[in-house]
Amino acid sequence: MKQACGLICGAVALVCASKAMAEIDILTVTFNCENGIPLPVTYFNASDGSGAAATMVDNSLVAMRQVESGSGIRYESVDTNGTYILRSKGWNATVSFLATNAASEQVIFQDCSSR
C-alpha cells in the first residue's frame, strides 16, 4: 500500500511542473476490455493543461505522463524495461508495452470501452 501511494503521488507530481500547486481534477474511469477484463484508469488533469494517468498492469501500478498525440490522448511511462503506452480517444482505450530492445509494441489491453 505504501508503494502504491508513493507511485500515485509521483504521478501527481508529474502534473505539477511549477513550484505553485496547480488545481488538479482527478477522474477515475473503468474501461471494459476484450474478454470482459476491467481496466480502471485514474486521470490527473492540471489547470495548466498538463496531465498524468495511473493504472494497474500485471499487479503493478503504472504512472504515466501525458505526451503529444496526433489524435486522442496518449500517456507514456518509461522504466528500465520499456515504455507503457495508454491511448484513448472518445470512449475507447488501449494499453501496450514497448520493450527497450523491441521493434514493435505488445498490446496488453485492447478493445476497451467505457460505455
**56-78 tens-digit pLDDT:** 998 999 999 999 988 889 999 97
Beta-sheet pairing, 37-46 with 51-57: antiparallel
pTM (2 d.p.): 0.78
pLDDT of residue 113: 96
The number of distinct structural domains making up the chain is: 1
Report the sign of the C-alpha dihedral through residues 17, 28, 94, 101, in that order.
positive
Q: Name the DSSP letter for residue 34.
A: G
The values of phi and psi at residue 11, to 5°, are -65, -40
What average pLDDT does the chain have?
A: 84
pLDDT of residue 21: 56
| Whole-angstrom distance, CA of residue 43 vs CA of residue 81 | 23
- Per the structure, the complete domain to which residue 38 belongs is given by 2-113
pLDDT of residue 61: 94
pLDDT of residue 5 exceeding 50, the answer is: no
Q: Give the cell for residue 65.
A: 505522463
Domain CATH code at residue 83: 2.40.128.200
CB 77 within 8 A of CB 93: no
pLDDT (tens digit, 9 = 90+) per residue, 18-30? 434 568 999 999 9
